[in-house]
Amino acid sequence: KQEVTQIPAALSVPEGENLVLNCSFTDSAIYNLQWFRQDPGKGLTSLLLIQSSQREQTSGRLNASLDKSSGRSTLYIAASQPGDSATYLCAGDSGAGSYQLTFGKGTKLSVIP
């Protein structure tokens, strides 16, 4: 069964900094790894999906990588802005036969103007 860990639990950075959020998982047979953003009191917004055959995905200032052999994914945010402040969640499944996405506990990001 997949287990997902995110470090750090919280991060505070000044505006304009580049930053990296880390995610580790236990089952290397991961099929999909997905990064979400959750604003306070809101739902989950999918940011990036890395499929099993891919190693990274990019969207605007966001870049996510996946290293199945080491059980790690990173989310890189370039030139951070106050609007990036939110909780970022990493989630993965356990192979093509999995019927669930397992979440980490998230990293709460605060970007200080």
Residue numbers of the site for another protein (CB under 8 A)?
31-32, 34, 36, 38, 41-44, 46, 49, 51-52, 87, 89, 91, 96-97, 99-103, 105-106
| Residue 82, SS3 per DSSP | helix
d(CA 37, CA 69): 25
Judged by phi (left if over 0) then psi (alpha if -120 to 50, else beta), residue 81 lies in: beta
User: In sequence order, which ranges of the chain are alpha helices (DSSP H)?
Assistant: none
The Cα-based distances of 97 to 44, 55, 92 in angstroms read 24, 21, 13
CB of 25 to another protein, least distance (A): 15
Would you state the structure tokens that stand for residue 106, as one six-digit string? 């998230």
In the complex with another protein, the residue whose CB is nearer, 40 or 83, is: 40
Q: Which is nearer to another protein, 18 or 100 (CB)?
A: 100
- CB nearer to another protein: pick between 73 and 87: 87
Output 80 or 107, the one with its CB closest to another protein. Answer: 107
In the complex, the smallest distance separating the C-beta of residue 52 from another protein, rounded to whole angstroms, is: 7
